[in-house]
Structure 1
Amino acid sequence: MSALGLDDRRRMVHRLLPLETGCGLEIAPNWAPVVTKSEGDVLYCDYLTYEQLLERERTNPGRIQHGLRVQRLDFIWEIGKTLQECAGTAAPFDYVVSCHVFEHVPNFLEYLYQVRAVVKDDGVIAMVLPDAKGSGEYFRRETNAAELINSYLLGQTVPSPGQVYDGLKNLFDFQNVPLEGRSLADVKRLFTDSDSYAAAVRASQEYVDVHCWAFSRDGFAEVARELREIGLFDFEIESLESNPATQTGHGSEFYVKLRPTAPPRPSLLRARTQPMSAPNPDPDAAPGLSDIEQVRAHADRAFREAVAVQDALKAEKEALEAAMARAVAHGEKAFREAVAAQDLLKAEKALAEDRLARLEASPLVKLGGRLGLLPR
C-alpha cells in the first residue's frame, strides 16, 4: 500500500481512532481498508455486495498492480434501510471510519446523521475527504451550507443532474503544479461540456456516481461552523488535518475527527420511504383495507391532488395570460393616444407659427415697430 500512498493515510487516521480498546465500523473499505481486521476489532459494510464489488473492481489497475484484494463484508447497507437497521445488534460502535465516501453521497447531512445513529455518545466519526484545492477539482466552486441544507430538506437520494454536470465539467488531470492565476482552460480536462451534459441527462433517469460535494479543509470547517450555528451540525471537530501540501499550497486530502454533541436524529429519509408508518394516519385510508389496497388508495388520492394542482396552475396561467393581453392592449391604446396627441400638438404649433408669421408681416405691425409701440 505504500506505493499508493495509503500507509501515510492509514497512519494519520489511526491516530484519530481508539483501535486498541474500541469496536469499529468501516464504510466501503473496498480493496484498501483504513483499518484492517488484524489491526482492530472492525466490521466492514458497503451498499454493494461482495460479488458486485469483485465485478466492479475486476479491472482496476491500482488494485491489480499492487495485488490488493476486495474485502469481504460483514453486512450490506441496503437501499431503503437505515444504517442502524442494517447494523442490527452490532451497533453502537466506538468509532465509524470512511475514506473518500462522503463526497459521493447525494445527501451529506442525512448520511452523517445515519452514521451518528450507530456511534456511541462518546464515540468517534473519522472521515477522509479529498481537498478540492489540492486535486483535480481546483477550479470547482466549493460546496456551501445552503447546498447541503437543500439536499437534506428535499430528501435527495441520488446525485442531481446539476451535481453530475458540475462535478464532471470541472474535473481535470491534476499534475501537481502551481495553479494560482490559471483557469480551467489552461489544464487538460477529463470531460468536455458535451460529455458532462450527456452524463447529466443520464442522471435524470439513473444513478450516476460523481463527487456531489467539493470541499477544501478550511471550507469544510466554515460550512460546519455555519451549520452548527443553525442547529444542523451536532458534532465537535476535534481534529482537522491535511496531508503534505501539493504545489497548489493545499493537501490532496484532509482528515476529520468528529465527536457527537447531541443524541441521534431520526432519519428524514426513512420517514419519507415509509409513509404508511407515519404517526398521522392517511385520512383516506379506510379501516379493514389490506396494505396493498391502502397503498392504492393513497396513490389514487395523490393522483387526484396532482390533477387538482395541475388544473389550478392551468387556470392561474390562463388568468395571467389574459392579464398580459389586457396590459398589452392597454399599452397599445395608450401609445396610439400619445402619438395622436403629439400629432395634434405639432399641428397646433405649426398653425400658431403661421399666424404669428402673418401677423408680423402685416403693415400695421410693421408701422408699430418703426414707431416703437411694440414690446421688444
Structure 2
Amino acid sequence: MDSRQRTLAAVRPHGRTGVELGPLDRPLVHRGDGDILYADHLSTDDLARKYAGHAAAGPRARGALVEVDLVLDRQTLAQALGDRGSVDYIVASHVIEHLPDPVGWLRDCAEALHEDGLLFLAVPDMRFTFDRGRTLTTVGDLVGASLTRPTGPSPAQVYEHFSRAVQVDAKAVWAGRETRFPLFTGHGPEAGLEHARRIHEAGGTIDVHCSVFTPDSFVSVLGEVIAIGLVPFAFAEFTPTQPGEIEFFALMRKCEGLAPVKRAAFTPRSDRPAPRPAAPGWRSRLSNARRLGDPR
C-alpha cells in the first residue's frame, strides 16, 4: 500500500470527522473521503508565499495547495476547532520531526480527540533521508523539551541539521551499497555553527528536523514517554519502513486515564547502519507500549 492507502485503512474516514495537519498540496485524506478539516500554521495564501521558489519544497502555487480550514498560528488545535469540538482522528505526515516539543504537541493532539480517537503518523526513517548522519533522538531530549516548552528549534538542533545533512540515495542504502554521501551545498560544521549562533543570538526560528528516528528508536522512545505518563496515547498499530521506502507509520489511540507503568522496560538501540525495515525487538517493545496498565 502507498501512504494514502495506509492512511485510509488506519483512520477509516467515511462517516467520521478528522483533521489532517500540514497537507500542503499532497493531502492523504481527500475531501470526498469524509468530513476532513485541513490545518496548518499559516493560511493558504501565506503558505503559497512561504513556499514560492523554495527549492526543497518544490513548486507550490496557490491553486495547488489545499484550502486551509484551521490556522494554528499561536493556538492549539483544540482552540482552533472551537465550537466544532473534538474529532475522531488526526493525520500528520512528516510533521512530528519538525516540532520543538513533540510531547507537548502530542498532548495538544489528545486534547482535540474524542476518547479512543486516533492519531496516524507518517515519520521519515533517518537511515534513508538527509538525517542519516545525525544522532538519534532520546527520551531525555523529549522530556527536556516538554519541560522547557521551546517554540523553535534549539541551537543544537540547528547545528545538527546544517552540519550533517547529506544527499542520501535511499535506493543505494536499500541495495546495501554503502558509501559516504556528500553534504548538501552550503552545509558542514562551519555552516552549522554560523546558523546555530544566529539562532542563539538573534532568536527567531528556522525549519529543521528537531527529532530524528528509526522505527526501532521511535517505538522505544515513544513507548517510554507513554509509560511514564507524559502523553495519553497507546500504540494501536505500527508499520516499520518497508523495502524501498523512506518512512514508517504509527497509529496511536487516545487512552485518557490509564495509569503509567511503574517501570519502563524499553531499551533504545540504533538500527541506523542496517538497510532493514526495523531491528529485531521492536515488536516486543511495541507490545510493552500497548500494555500501559501492566506494571511488569
* Larger relative contact order (Cα-Cα within 8 Å, sequence gap ≥ 6): 2
1:104 counterpart = 2:102 = no
SS at match of 1:53: helix
In structure 1, give the amino acid aligned to 2:69: D
Q: Does 1:69 align with 2:64?
A: yes
Q: Given the alignment, which residue of 216, 237, 257 partners 1:218?
A: 216
Matched, 1:203 2:174: no
State the AA in 2 paired with 1:171.
A
CA contact (8 A) 1:31 1:63 kept: no
Pick closer, same or farther for the CA change 1:63–1:165 going to 2, 3 Å.
Answer: closer
Shift of 1:167: 2.1
- Normalised TM-score (structure 1): 0.62
Q: What amino acid is the match of 1:31? A: D
Give the superposition deviation at 1:171. 1.2
1:187 corresponds to which letter in structure 2? F
Kindly provide the amino acid, as one letter, of the partner of residue 76 in structure 1.
V
Structure number with the higher helix fraction is 1
What is the distance in 2 between the residues matched to 1:66 and 1:8? 25
Q: Which amino acid aligns with 2:51?
A: E
How far is 1:88 from its partner?
0.4
Q: Which residue does 1:137 correspond to in 2? A: 131
Aligned-partner Cα distance in 2 for 1:52–1:244 = 35
Per the alignment, residue 249 of structure 2 pairs with 255
SS class of match (1:172): coil
C-alpha distance in structure 1 between counterparts of 2:118 and 2:209, whole Å: 24
User: Quick check: 2:22–2:39 contact (8 Å CA) kept in 1?
Assistant: yes
Identity %: 24
Say if 2:215 and 2:240, in contact at 8 Å, map to a contact too: yes
| Structure 1 CA distance for aligned equivalents of residues 113 and 85 of structure 2 | 7
Does the 8 Å contact 2:120/2:250 carry over to 1?
yes
The range that moved more, 151-160 or 49-58, is 49-58
Q: Which residue of the partner structure matches residue 50 of structure 1?
A: 44
Q: How many residues align?
A: 251
Match of 2:238 among 237, 240, 253: 240
- 2-structure distance, mates of 1:231, 1:49: 34
Cα shift readout 1:313-360 (whole Å, capped 9, x = no counterpart): xxxxxxxxxxxxxxxxxxxxxxxxxxxxxxxxxxxxxxxxxxxxxxxx
Following superposition, the deviation at residue 245 of structure 1 comes to 2.1
Distance 1:217 1:233 in 2: 19
Secondary structure at the aligned position of 2:209 is classed as coil
Q: 1:182, 1:110 → 2: CA distance?
A: 37
Cα distance in structure 2, aligned partners of 1:236 and 1:101 = 19
Which residue identity does 1:224 align to in structure 2?
L
Match of 2:159 among 161, 165, 174: 165
Is the 8 Å Cα contact of residues 48 and 60 (structure 2) preserved in structure 1? no
Unaligned ranges ≥5, structure 1: 1-6, 265-376
Cα drift, residue 18 of structure 1: 2.3
Matching residue's letter, 1:26: E
Q: Which moved more, 1:237-246 or 1:57-66?
A: 57-66
